[in-house]
Amino acid sequence: MENCKFCSILNNELPSRIVYEDEDVIALLPKEVEVYGHTLVIPKTHYESLYDTPDEILGKLTVVAKKLALQYQKTIGAT
């Protein structure tokens, strides 16, 4: 989609700090971090809104977010 920063990141048009990636999901650190460990977990396919996102992808986003949260809990003491 035109003017979507996430699509630009996925197309390697913008730099990013990727902390996780699989076939459907990517997780990256935002450009400016207000809270240490804050991570954006997004689908690799562009969807207009939550309502358009398939349930399977929403489930994968949640699983990845939990996986990262558990890892952050161990490595940086996230609560």
Residue 70 within a domain: yes
Domain contains 11: no
In a domain, 23, yes or no: yes
pTM, full prediction: 0.86
HSE at residue 43, side-chain half, CA atoms within 13 A, is 16
Q: Is 68 domain-assigned?
A: yes
- Does the pLDDT of residue 73 top 90, yes or no? yes
2 in any annotated domain: no
Torsion of CA 31, 34, 38, 40, to 10 degrees: -40
Q: What is the pLDDT of residues 15-71, one digit of tens each?
A: 899 999 999 999 999 888 888 889 999 999 999 999 999 999 999 999 999 999 999
Per-residue confidence at 1, pLDDT binned at 50, 70, 90?
A: low
Specify the CATH number for the domain of residue 62: 3.30.428.10
Give the pLDDT of residue 67: 97
pLDDT in tens, 44-53: 999 999 999 9
| Residue 7 counted as domain residue | no
Question: Looking at residue 37, what is its pLDDT?
Answer: 87
Full domain range(s) for residue 43 = 16-76
Provide the domain count of the chain: 1
